[in-house]
Amino acid sequence: MAVQSVACEQKLDQECINCLRGLAIDMVSQAKSGHPGMPLGMAPAAHVLFSRVMRFSPTHADWPARDRFVLSNGHGCALVYSMLHLCGYRISMDELKNFRQLGSITPGHPENVDTEGIEVTTGPLGQGLSNAVGMAIAQAQTAATYNRPGHQIVDGTIFVFCGDGCLQEGITSEAASLAGHLQLKDLVVVYDDNRITIDGSTALSFSEDVPARFRAYGWHTLTVNSGDSDLEAIEAALREAKRSDRPTLISLKTTIGYGSPVADTAAAHGAPLKDDQLRATKQSLGLNPDEFFAVPERVREFYKRVHDCGDALAAEWRASFGAYGQAFPAEAAQFRRIFDHRRLAEGWDAKMPKYTPDMAAEATRSVGGKVLNAIAEYLPEMVGGSADLTPSNKTQLKCSFDFASGKEAGRYIRFGVREHAMFAIGNGISAYGMIPYTATFLNFLTYGWGAVRLAALSKFRHIFYMTHDSIGLGEDGPTHQPIEVLPLIRATPNLGLFRPADGAETVGAFRAFLPRADRPVVLCLSRQNLPQLEGSSEEGVAKGAYILRQTCQGEPDVVLIASGSEVSLAVDSAKELEQSSISVRVVSCPSSDLFLEQPLAYRRAVLTERAPVISVEAASVAGWAAMSHFQIGMRSFGKSAKAKDLLSHFGFTPENVVAQTKKFLTDLQTRASELDLPPRGVLGVLQCLRE
């Protein structure tokens, strides 16, 4: 706790706080855009937290045992950028001046990818707090796994700032309820209780008793009434929270826009102060209104001491980690592999199951469960769970047990029916340095899309493990059957999609995506049994799409491209079409995004330019026009019925695929003569086969 020793006198503290306030409002004014209210109100808490309580080292920003800070109300980031700058993270004064400008590392809401010291991307409300729950789980799991008597190498705390908006979002309720259940003691949330939201007073829409609600979840709660001024009370609350054996919520009463003419009103929230307001604010804070981006020397020196102190702490830790390595070399090596090198263990895929065409049909959700278990032994950093669908998702880990209060080394998480928080918690676990998998039915991916898209934006390795991936799930009906979800995933940048056709492809999917640390994937698995296919290939999966079957030489008459459960349908249809002397190539496309990353020559070799391409997928046809000339798919919601009846009703039978294919080929000839073009001229070149 050497940070405590940084000598502080009250006046200097106040100077630091007002310097932070001045920087933040100058940033917003310079950008002519942003949120001055929160930094003016929360600067005291930020100052106390960073200078007296939190353990971090700007020189070693990713020191694994650091305390972590999450700004859940991300719009207040001018405060954090200013703080990170003063503490010596790689954020220059020019970057502060470039707040919210193109190419800066100080974007309008904090983004983890480009900005050192930003643990997670926030802005969409509630995400940060839920990420922090994930970090606190990862922290507890890591501590329980690696700490040894006399060697407390992991004991960080996760600190969060959040506002009213975060607490109104449902994701926060989910995450907080789970955090209370799990008694995550390393989680401290500071609630900026300023009684104002964008629309005006919280009296308009938010009159609940927040601390009582959190106590109902099992949290410890504290209140600091003088959050604008009483640094000792803030510090005392933070310290008590850190000591608590439960997650703690500190309700900090503050004044939004403190010191400004619009203090305590919604006007302070989300628009720059006008020039006269800016002057008046600085005057009321004792700052020179003619100076901009001013940092008094004493303030700079103060934070330099905070910086040095943090570096000393990190060095101290490195030394104690060295001693740990002497005593526990295997554990230390594993710890470094995971948290320093972020590499998979050698031979992680050694026990993968092998699938051959002679083996019995099996649901890919079942294959997935076997694969998870085969690799989990080698990858202790893999932790995950299901949103109360464990028996259906088949995600339980045999090599471990449930993560629970008092059993924190457990790697299986019972998330409850809390999809959105589950995904955000997974993001937090990933941010901490581990590999999360989070499971539910594919259709409920969109219950937590806010977190899924942030995983993609944040480049988190995170396995969204989705079963029951089509109308093939049967009787649960259209409320449970995904239609629009696959197009959504495909339209999202940096989000992988794998929908394997059988056992071999499922294994191949894991081999393809797991080594990539820079993006999340959605793994789509079937509820129903799927046959092991002749020609399916792990290597093929790695290229996203490949020729699974073709009996004729050279160019076929038609290409059927399919994914997942529809690949076997395409194969069966091909066999029938061949009876009518139509030669067919079947392309399996477990991962369209990976296929589109392949060289043009490969893409052209798979989806020949010479033949019509027909896609078959039991999901919305939207998006397939770039990769096929005709689509067999869903154009409505599903229905409740037996899977077999549904597949037949919606045309996923060899009979229908054969009939549609023949009709398409005939229509093509007709249309070609109408338009006076060769048939391939009617079809044109697929967009995915262009330069």
Return the residues of window 601-620 that contact a second copy according to CB under 8 A. 609, 620
Shortest Å distance, C-beta 629 to a second copy: 7
Residue 691 engages a second copy in binding (rule: CB under 8 A): yes
Candidates 64, 117, 134, 218; binder of a second copy (CB under 8 A) is 218
Candidates 31, 138, 548, 558; binder of a second copy (CB under 8 A) is 31
Four-point Cα dihedral 49, 51, 53, 56, nearest 10: 100
Candidates 21, 307, 462, 629; binder of a second copy (CB under 8 A) is 629
Query: For residues 261 and 487, which CB has a smaller minimum distance to a second copy in the complex?
Result: 487
In sign, the C-alpha dihedral spanning 438, 439, 441, 444 is negative
Residue 484 engages a second copy in binding (rule: CB under 8 A): yes
- Report which of 394, 527, 532 is spatially closest to residue 472, judged by C-alpha positions: 527
Query: For residues 216 and 350, which CB has a smaller minimum distance to a second copy in the complex?
Result: 216
- Judged by CB under 5 A, the stretch of 129-137, 155-163, 464-472, 508-516 that binds Ca ion is 155-163
Residue 208 engages a second copy in binding (rule: CB under 8 A): yes
What distance in Å separates the CA atoms of residue 456 and residue 447, rounded to the nearest whole number? 16
Residue 36 engages Ca ion in binding (rule: CB under 5 A): no
- Report which of 472, 652, 647, 632 is spatially closest to residue 558, judged by C-alpha positions: 632
- Judged by CB under 8 A, the stretch of 132-140, 174-182, 280-288, 579-587 that binds a second copy is 174-182
Shortest Å distance, C-beta 331 to a second copy: 29
Residue 164 engages Ca ion in binding (rule: CB under 5 A): yes
Residue 369 engages a second copy in binding (rule: CB under 8 A): no
The active-site residue out of 419, 505, 566, 617 is 419
- Judged by CB under 5 A, the stretch of 158-166, 321-329, 395-403, 443-451 that binds Ca ion is 158-166
Shortest Å distance, C-beta 681 to a second copy: 3
Residue 469 engages Ca ion in binding (rule: CB under 5 A): no
Query: For residues 216 and 319, which CB has a smaller minimum distance to a second copy in the complex?
Result: 216
The item of a second copy, Ca ion, none sharing an interface with residue 436, based on CB under 5 to 8 Å by kind, is none
Burial (Cβ within 10 Å: 0-12, 13-18, ≥19) of residue 674: exposed
Residue 311 tokens, joined = 């570096």
Residue 194 engages a second copy in binding (rule: CB under 8 A): no
Candidates 57, 197, 277, 281; binder of a second copy (CB under 8 A) is 197
Q: How many CB atoms lie within 10 A of CB 550?
A: 17
Instruction: Give one word for 88, left, alpha or beta, with left for phi > 0 and alpha for psi -120 to 50.
Output: left
Beta strands 463-467; 529-530: pairing state = unpaired
Query: For residues 350 and 417, which CB has a smaller minimum distance to a second copy in the complex?
Result: 417
Shortest Å distance, C-beta 206 to a second copy: 5
The item of Ca ion, a second copy, none sharing an interface with residue 457, based on CB under 5 to 8 Å by kind, is a second copy
Residue 37 engages Ca ion in binding (rule: CB under 5 A): no
CB under 8 Å to 592, separation ≥6 — which residues? 490, 497, 544, 545, 563, 627
Query: For residues 203 and 330, which CB has a smaller minimum distance to Ca ion in the complex?
Result: 203
Size of the site for Ca ion (CB under 5 A): 4
Q: How many CB atoms lie within 10 A of CB 691?
A: 3
Q: What are the CB-based long-range contacts (under 8 Å, 24+) for 265-268? A: 265/196, 266/196, 266/197, 266/198, 266/199, 266/200, 266/201, 268/36, 268/37, 268/40, 268/196
- Report which of 541, 463, 467 is spatially closest to residue 504, judged by C-alpha positions: 541
Query: For residues 157 and 458, which CB has a smaller minimum distance to a second copy in the complex?
Result: 458
Candidates 294, 352, 582, 622; binder of a second copy (CB under 8 A) is 622
Q: How many CB atoms lie within 10 A of CB 136?
A: 28
Residue 194 engages Ca ion in binding (rule: CB under 5 A): yes
The alpha carbon of residue 366 and the mean position of all alpha carbons in its chain are separated, in whole angstroms, by 25
- Type of residue numbered 145: T
Helices 419-432 and 170-182, packing angle to 10 deg: 70
DSSP 97-115: HTTT-TT-SS-SS--TTTS
Residue 108 engages a second copy in binding (rule: CB under 8 A): yes
Candidates 153, 454, 533, 560; binder of a second copy (CB under 8 A) is 454
For the chain, report the end-to-end CA distance as a whole number of angstroms: 59
Shortest Å distance, C-beta 382 to a second copy: 19
Query: For residues 298 and 642, which CB has a smaller minimum distance to a second copy in the complex?
Result: 642
- Judged by CB under 8 A, the stretch of 249-257, 383-391, 528-536, 546-554 that binds a second copy is 383-391
Contact 645, 628 (CB under 8 A): no
Cα-based angle 604, 605, 609 (whole degrees, multiple of 5): 50
Phi, psi angles (nearest 5°) of residue 512: -80, -40
Candidates 97, 239, 342, 649; binder of a second copy (CB under 8 A) is 649
Query: For residues 339 and 423, which CB has a smaller minimum distance to a second copy in the complex?
Result: 423
- Judged by CB under 8 A, the stretch of 7-15, 164-172, 245-253, 363-371 that binds a second copy is 164-172
Residue 600 engages a second copy in binding (rule: CB under 8 A): no
Residue 583 engages a second copy in binding (rule: CB under 8 A): no
The item of Ca ion, a second copy, none sharing an interface with residue 194, based on CB under 5 to 8 Å by kind, is Ca ion
Cα-based angle 461, 462, 466 (whole degrees, multiple of 5): 145
Has 576 been annotated as catalytic? no
- Type of residue numbered 56: F
CB under 8 Å to 361, separation ≥6 — which residues? 529, 530, 531, 532
Residue 207 engages a second copy in binding (rule: CB under 8 A): yes
Taking only Cα atoms into account, the Rg of the chain, rounded to an integer number of angstroms, comes to 28
Candidates 10, 479, 579, 580; binder of a second copy (CB under 8 A) is 479
- Report which of 390, 356, 397 is spatially closest to residue 376, judged by C-alpha positions: 397
Residue 111 engages a second copy in binding (rule: CB under 8 A): yes
Strand partners, 196: 201
Residues 84-103 that bind a second copy (CB under 8 A): 100-103
Q: Could you tell me the strand order of the sheet in which 558-562 lies?
A: 546-550, 584-588, 558-562, 613-620, 630-634
Candidates 39, 310, 380, 474; binder of a second copy (CB under 8 A) is 474
Residue 445 tokens, joined = 């991916």
Query: For residues 66 and 629, which CB has a smaller minimum distance to a second copy in the complex?
Result: 629
The item of Ca ion, a second copy, none sharing an interface with residue 665, based on CB under 5 to 8 Å by kind, is none
Residue 274 engages a second copy in binding (rule: CB under 8 A): no
Which residues contact Ca ion by CB under 5 A? 163-164, 194, 196
| Catalytic center residues | 419
